[in-house]
A = this chain, B = another copy of it.
């Protein structure tokens, strides 16, 4: 290996060490940290963010990247790493340490205020933090620069190469087809699903979730599961990828599909090349591709009939008192019940995208300044009426429902929809490449699918861009008709359309 490249890699790994250390502190913050620790933890995270920033814009690193960028003797993967690190470096240079620390402090505080606001159903508690966060995100767009819309600058951080305009077009294309399907479904009687809302013992749910994760080949020697308010996956290297779940004793679905969903994310991270720790080829491509992994497992696999052929009898053994009277067909219909709901995380896979479109519109407006934070709850509620025809009973279940904005997470909601669309397209290719895949899933054998994902996606890290990868493994660009075809066939059968 080139001596400069070695030095570059070492510097990138030190940077990763600091970032993953922050991730450990954040993981702890959301799971185990006692409440009085909040203020000092925010300060500790701000300090680490500042140090991370200094390492990321370090001049020696910049010089190495510059030099390596001109070097023609690098391998394809080395070239790719330098290209991406160069872009990152230039972007990071646009931030001051002061800005980074401010944002870290604002979001650490924001998280704590959001938690309290949600608990007390009082948006006012969170509003000042959110206002601060929005204004910092606006500043960030300006720092990074953009051509058409401030949203572009943020989106590119999560979905490199994607444009706001493309997302607008994608949603414009998919919306009428999706609405038509949902409308057709809404005229049919809804499958009974009361049995999913009986009492489901916490510990038994936990044990069943662990079984599902093991069946997916999630490696518990390189990860662990904990409980948190909002399920998430975090990673401190490919050898330490942790998931969380949420258990509701009155709703079996929350645990089941959050386990499978986060498990999908985690398999991607555990499948990354550990030797490339800290450099782009050791990291996930984009949030959209990340989400394609979680949603492929959650929906295309985990809400499919094949998956439950093996697993429903197992679930019945855990909860005979609730499920012995219900057959597989009725279970399958119930878990695919389409019904507008208040929160994205428990939405069915069709109305789900309405939640995303709402957020996308709100964030665009917040960023361009056409919507003020104080007006957010009212606008949120009116959009839910418009898109989903439901009334939001309170802000805890509305605008305060989830964690993302409190983390400063803006500009990536569309990647959730991209993820679904990629998932359908990838799953179609996997089935073509590996005939008998679904028969294996019916037997609880997830290995052929995992091996396909590992081979085609996981192990490459950022070697390809999202669109290159899609082209390479499916033979065409992202095409939402795979998703529409999958959904149409599935729901036509379930709802006898």
Q: Which residues of B contact A21 (CB under 8 A)?
A: 21-22, 25, 44, 47-48
> Within 8 Å of chain B (Cβ to Cβ): is A164?
no
Question: Known contacts A41-B240, A240-B40; is A223 also within 8 Å of B34 by CB?
Answer: yes
Q: How far is the CB of A49 from chain B (nearest CB, A)?
A: 10
Q: What 0/1 readout, one digit per residue, does chain A (1-38) give for beta carbons within 8 Å of chain B?
A: 00000000000011001101110110010001111110
Question: Known contacts A36-B221, A236-B37; is A24 also within 8 Å of B17 by CB?
Answer: no
Q: Which residues of B contact A223 (CB under 8 A)?
A: 34
CA of A24 to CA of B33 in the docked complex: distance in angstroms?
A: 10
Question: Known contacts A21-B25, A21-B48, A25-B24; is A239 also within 8 Å of B36 by CB?
Answer: yes
Question: Known contacts A18-B51, A21-B25; is A40 also within 8 Å of B237 by CB?
Answer: yes
CA of A35 to CA of B239 in the docked complex: distance in angstroms?
A: 9
Q: How far is the CB of A15 from chain B (nearest CB, A)?
A: 9
**Residue in contact with A239 in the complex, picked from B22, B37, B48, B239, CB distance below 8 Å:** B37
Indicate if the CB atoms of B220 and A48 lie closer than 8 Å.
no
CA of A41 to CA of B51 in the docked complex: distance in angstroms?
A: 18
Indicate if the CB atoms of A236 and B41 lie closer than 8 Å.
yes
CA of A39 to CA of B33 in the docked complex: distance in angstroms?
A: 25
* Complex interface residues of chain A between 225 and 272 (CB less than 8 A to chain B): 226, 236-237, 239-240
Main secondary structure of the interface of A (DSSP, over half): helix
Q: Which residues of B contact A46 (CB under 8 A)?
A: 17
Q: Which residues of B contact A221 (CB under 8 A)?
A: 34-36
> Within 8 Å of chain B (Cβ to Cβ): is A43?
yes
* Complex interface residues of chain A between 257 and 316 (CB less than 8 A to chain B): 277
CA of A236 to CA of B36 in the docked complex: distance in angstroms?
A: 11
Indicate if the CB atoms of B236 and A48 lie closer than 8 Å.
no
Specify the chain B residue showing the minimal Cβ separation from A40. B237
Indicate if the CB atoms of A236 and B18 lie closer than 8 Å.
no
> Within 8 Å of chain B (Cβ to Cβ): is A222?
yes
> Within 8 Å of chain B (Cβ to Cβ): is A374?
no
Indicate if the CB atoms of B28 and A44 lie closer than 8 Å.
no
Q: Which residues of B contact A37 (CB under 8 A)?
A: 222, 236-237, 239-240
Q: How far is the CB of A89 from chain B (nearest CB, A)?
A: 19
Q: Which residues of B contact A50 (CB under 8 A)?
A: 14
Indicate if the CB atoms of A44 and B239 lie closer than 8 Å.
no
Q: Which residues of B contact A236 (CB under 8 A)?
A: 37, 40-41, 44
Q: Which residues of B contact A47 (CB under 8 A)?
A: 14, 17-18, 21
**Residue in contact with A43 in the complex, picked from B17, B34, B219, B224, CB distance below 8 Å:** B17
Question: Known contacts A13-B43, A14-B47, A21-B25; is A34 also within 8 Å of B237 by CB?
Answer: no
Q: How far is the CB of A36 from chain B (nearest CB, A)?
A: 4
Specify the chain B residue showing the minimal Cβ separation from A242. B34
Q: Which residues of B contact A17 (CB under 8 A)?
A: 43-44, 46-48
**Residue in contact with A28 in the complex, picked from B24, B34, B43, CB distance below 8 Å:** B24
CA of A37 to CA of B237 in the docked complex: distance in angstroms?
A: 7
Q: How far is the CB of A491 from chain B (nearest CB, A)?
A: 39
Q: How far is the CB of A203 from chain B (nearest CB, A)?
A: 12
Q: Which residues of B contact A20 (CB under 8 A)?
A: 40, 44
CA of A237 to CA of B237 in the docked complex: distance in angstroms?
A: 27
Q: How far is the CB of A62 from chain B (nearest CB, A)?
A: 19
CA of A25 to CA of B44 in the docked complex: distance in angstroms?
A: 13
Q: Which residues of B contact A35 (CB under 8 A)?
A: 221
- Which among A39, A40, A219, A237 has the highest number of chain B CB atoms within 10 Å? A40
Indicate if the CB atoms of A240 and B43 lie closer than 8 Å.
no
Specify the chain B residue showing the minimal Cβ separation from A51. B51
CA of A285 to CA of B152 in the docked complex: distance in angstroms?
A: 54
Q: Which residues of B contact A44 (CB under 8 A)?
A: 17, 20-21, 24, 236
Q: A18-B48, A20-B44, A34-B223 are in contact. List 15 more A-B contacts (CB 8 A).
A: A17-B47, A21-B22, A21-B25, A32-B226, A34-B222, A34-B224, A34-B240, A37-B222, A37-B236, A37-B239, A39-B239, A40-B236, A40-B239, A40-B240, A41-B240
Chain A residues engaging chain B, CB cutoff 8 angstroms: 13-14, 17-18, 20-22, 24-25, 28, 32-37, 39-41, 43-44, 46-48, 50-51, 219-224, 226, 236-237, 239-240, 277
A-B pairs with beta carbons under 8 Å apart, 16 shown? A17-B44, A17-B47, A18-B51, A21-B44, A33-B240, A34-B222, A34-B224, A36-B222, A36-B240, A37-B239, A39-B239, A40-B236, A40-B237, A40-B277, A41-B236, A51-B51
